[in-house]
Amino acid sequence: MPTIFTKIINGEIPCFKVAEDENFLAFLDINPNAKGHTLCIPKKEVNKILDLDEETYVQLMLFSRKVGKALEKTVDCKRVGMSVIGLEVPHVHVHLIPLNEMKEATFQHKVKLSNEELAELAEAIGAKVE
Calpha distance 49→69 (Å, rounded): 21
Q: How far is the CB of 37 from ligand 5GP (least distance, A)?
A: 7
Q: How far apart are the C-alpha atoms of 31 and 109, rounded to whole Å? A: 10
Taking the complex as a whole, the smallest distance from the CB of residue 95 to ligand 5GP amounts, in Å, to 6
To ligand 5GP, the closest distance from the beta carbon of 114 in angstroms equals: 15
In angstroms, what is the C-alpha Rg of the chain? 14
**From 37, 91, 93, 95, the catalytic residue:** 93
Please check whether residue 49 is in contact with residue 57, taking contact to mean a CB–CB distance below 8 angstroms.
Answer: yes
Separation of alpha carbons 40 and 93, rounded Å: 5
Q: Which stretch binds ligand 5GP (CB under 6 A): 18-26, 28-36, 53-61, 121-129?
A: 28-36
- What single DSSP character describes residue 93? -
Counting every residue, how long is the chain?
130
Assess whether 93 carries a catalytic annotation: yes
CA pair distance 61, 59, nearest whole angstrom: 5
* Residues 73-92 interacting with ligand 5GP (rule: CB under 6 A): 85-89
119 sits near ligand 5GP (criterion: CB under 6 A): no
Considering only residues 9, 25, 29, 67, which one is a binding residue for ligand 5GP as defined by CB under 6 A?
29
33 phi and psi, to 5 degrees?
-70, -30
Question: Taking CB under 6 A as the rule, which mask of x and - marks residues 30-49 in contact with ligand 5GP?
Answer: xx------------------
Residues that bind ligand 5GP (CB under 6 A): 4, 13, 15, 27-31, 85-89
> Which sequence positions are flagged as catalytic?
93
